[in-house]
Amino acid sequence: MDMNEPDPPQSSSHPGADPSGESPEEGEERRSRVEPGEEATKPGSRRRSRGKPAASAGDASKKAKAEPKPDDRIAPEIDGWLEQLRDRLGLDTNFDVQVREMTFGEHRTGLLFLSCLSKDASLTEILKRLTYLEPGNISHDALESFFTHYIPTVQIRKSESFDEMINDVLMGNAAFYVDGEPRVLLFDAKQYPGRNPDEPVLEKVVRGSKDGFTESILTNVGLIRRRLRDPNLRFEIMKVGDRTQTDVAIAYINDIADQELVEAVRDKIKAVKIDGIPLGDKQLEEMTVKTNWNPFPLVRYSERPDVVSAHLLNGSVTVLVDTSPSVILLPTTYFDLVQHAEENRQNPFIGTYLRWVRFFGVLASIFLLPLWYMYAESPHLRPHWLWFLGAEKTGDLPLILQFLMVEIGVDLMRLAAVHTPSPLVTAMSLVSAILIGDIAVKTGLFINEVILYMAVAAIGMFATPSYELGLANRIVRLALLLATFLFQMQGFVVCATAIFISMAFVRSYNAPYLWPFLPFNGPAMLNVIFRRPLPRNLRRPSLNRTKQNNKQPV
């Protein structure tokens, strides 16, 4: 309504006349012909809008929906409530399910909580304050009195649903029951077992912050909020898993992120129907992205809140899963997976150099072994300037068998390093190096060149920022090796072309996986090849289809 618009003239011909000048009968007849949604545009609608709005059918349906089902209602007597807890929550069977019964102001009460997830100090302080109540302090609506005056906690609400009460208690909250009330008060008292933010394991940097995500979703949200004090930053919470009830949060900046991408992520998470996701973000990825047998990762994981904040500013959507110390970044391309935070912690020249070294390591981890094997088995294909490639001796075993055995040996060493206790890792590494690097060569099982090139390829795999991409590149290397063994140069070319074409058709949340190479985007490709200075990095990636393209004034 325009505040400068003059009020309509009042008619004085009839005390019940409409401001438009028509009689009440005519006005009633005219209003009966108004279609729904048109009343605000008709004369006299301004006057009627000042009154109390009538209850709509949608409001009635919401109210009916809010009413709990008969089997979901809370018993109005405390004995019946305790019996419900024995049947549904295992009271008196589960040692961690506790109900503290006390009488406050002549009202029997019960405090339901899990001893393993609740803060004893907070609950004790609340009960201590309630002990000072006298019978005259409680009104006829006892639950409302406790809610309004006597329970000193910040996050508290009322609920009439038994299932909602159980879900909150299993999440670590506490439920306060008053005898004679078919409702409970739910308030925050949770204290999850966890660790403090520590340096990320897979994304270490020489300079920069050392705090990484933990298994608590609240801590992870706080780490992001600390870096992004933007009122447009949104965290939408939902639950996944019928039994685990895992908290999942979608994070995005409202005036930057593409709403279609946000809705696509939200709809796919809501469509997940599964008992639970105890393994956290990886199981959620498989239920939403559906990679099937594709070895390449279609999402990027990050353990660093500064990296996640930078991607949010670029228009990405992130997914946080409770109990997971990493965050999913969407959408993801192949070139996103080969970038590291260390490049942006150095000046542009050094950052570009580090990026090129990393690119070389990634390419070496894929193509070095197949190319060397092809030139060693077919010397006539070798260019003159690569005269040093090849081997004078091939050893007692065929080269392809040597490569396969070394590949399996490196994987075994990697798995052994993961599962070996920390004090024994060094000893295990020395034993493995002696067995494979020295004794295997002296006995003639392997040749020096196989060990050398396999070591270079393994270093390139470990230099790949994304652990998942490094494993996928290893599968590609094995496929190229087998294709070269079976069909020589033709097999290498055909296999490499088939893998490249299949990657060109892969999409991550409707984003081309090989962007900005396919489809080609010149400025974005330059940003991949070079670590450009921040003052020249003016625009957000066009892949994200952001609402605001400029990061800085052009």
Calculated CA dihedral for residues 134, 135, 139, 144, nearest 10 degrees: 60
**Residues in Cβ contact with 147 at an 8 Å cutoff, skipping those fewer than 6 apart:** 156, 158, 185
Does the bond joining 331 to the residue before it have cis omega, within 30 degrees of 0? yes
For residue 247, the surrounding DSSP H or E stretch is: strand 246-253
- The angle subtended at Cα 42 by Cα 41 and Cα 43, nearest 5°, is 125
* pTM assigned to the model: 0.81
CB 43 within 8 A of CB 7: no
* pLDDT, one tens digit for every residue, the chain (554 residues): 344 444 443 433 333 344 344 444 444 444 433 343 333 333 333 333 334 444 444 444 444 446 778 888 999 999 999 999 999 999 999 999 999 999 988 889 999 999 999 888 889 988 988 888 887 777 778 888 888 888 888 889 999 999 999 999 999 999 999 999 999 999 998 888 878 888 898 899 988 889 999 999 999 999 999 999 999 999 999 999 999 999 999 999 999 999 999 999 999 999 999 999 999 999 999 999 977 889 999 999 999 999 999 999 999 999 999 999 999 999 999 999 999 999 999 999 999 999 999 999 999 999 999 999 998 888 888 888 887 777 777 777 888 998 998 888 888 888 887 777 877 777 777 777 666 667 777 777 788 888 888 889 999 998 999 999 999 999 999 999 999 999 989 999 999 999 999 999 999 988 999 999 999 999 999 999 999 999 988 899 999 999 999 988 86
Q: Do 227 and 305 meet the contact criterion of CB atoms below 8 Å apart?
A: yes
Instruction: Output the six-digit token pair for 32.
Output: 């009966």
End-to-end CA distance of the chain: 38
Cα separation, 175 vs 159, in Å, equals: 10
The b-or-e profile of 480-494 (16+ CB within 10 A means b, else e) is bbbbbbeeeeebbee
Q: Using CA atoms of 19, 25, 31, 33 in order, give the dihedral in degrees to the nearest 10.
A: -140
Under DSSP, the state recorded for 98 is E
Angle of helix 422-433 versus helix 399-419 axis, rounded to 10: 160
Which of 174, 253, 247 is CA-nearest to residue 216?
247
At 300, list the tokens: 């990027």
Separation CA 123–CA 470 (nearest Å): 49
Instruction: State both tokens at 137.
Output: 């302090």
